[in-house]
Amino acid sequence: MLKDTLIALLIGFFVTTVVCPFFIPILHRFKFGQMVRDDGPKDHLKKTGTPTMGGITFIIGILAGSAFLISRYRDVVVVFLFTVSYGIIGLLDDMLKIKKKQSEGLKSSQKFILQLVVSVIFIIYLYKIYGFDYGILIPFTGSFDSGIILKLGIIWIPFALFVILGTDNGVNFTDGLDGLCSSVTIIVAIFFMLIGLKGGFSVTPITGAVIGSLMGFLIFNAYPAKVFMGDTGSLALGGFVASYALMCQIPVFIAIVGFIYMIEVISVIIQVGYFKATKGKRFFKMAPIHHHFELCGWSETKTVTVFSIITVILGILVYLFM
């Protein structure tokens, strides 16, 4: 399985690295540029017009890396289709942003309904596999053969929905700095790969395709970014992280390895709640929290580096003390 995973990684990297130089000029030609918020850091205004929807490139890479796995690893197909489905929702959002020439695309209600439909279909699939016998591995209690597996019964249905929607929004909020979401998700995927290999899950090889594709994309997405992944990419990655974790029965691990995703969401919730409660005051200088650090004087590269290091440390802790 490790060999197949590494082959998928190399294919994903090669394909994405080749596709990006051809695809980015096409985005320029059709003027598919990013619309930047007026109330954001002033340094970000220069990013206006940078091509977005670059997530299409690494989705192609993931497809290429996963293609040779499909015949032997059925679960890879399930996670890939879920990832692409969320990517399509993001694509619709990006297209509307470009058409409207503003930073808001789909209405929140529209996006939620689409996410809900796709998520319910995936949960129905999980139900067919596990029924109400779905269990989750509790972190820091041991590996799959010795750790505590908590059976949720019927509660796992709303729990799975919460995991999917929460994770996807977290990954989406993390996509705000050059290379941030790509870097953090590469690290998360690496540790998910190691955990999946330890547990012997047949879905594990898709992590290789994701890691390799994001590495190829990061060449063009690192500061200063030549292309952004857009909601096309961030929603797709959120779909991957959530679906993979659920398939491997490690959704609780997202809160640790994907701590950055979680803190990004929490910062937005705190900001909005505090703003409403105090009638206009802000808890952070700006949310999501990566913008707060920017306005405190951190550079984009420093923020991305620190957030990535935090993810590495937490991933190591999880892997060593499962």
List, as residue ranges, the binding site for Mg(2+): 172, 231
Give yes or no for a cis peptide into 224 (omega within 30° of 0): yes
Phi-psi region of 7 (alpha: psi -120 to 50; beta: other; left: phi over 0): alpha
Instruction: Please name the residue ranges forming H helices in 131-284.
Output: 156-174, 180-199, 205-221, 230-247, 254-257, 259-277
Which residues belong to the annotated binding site?
172, 231
Angle between helices 55-67 and 230-247 (to 10 degrees): 40
Strand partners, 258: none
* Joined tokens for residue 219: 């060449």
- Specify the residue for token string 């394909």: 15
How many CA atoms, within 13 angstroms, populate the side-chain half-sphere of residue 50?
Answer: 20
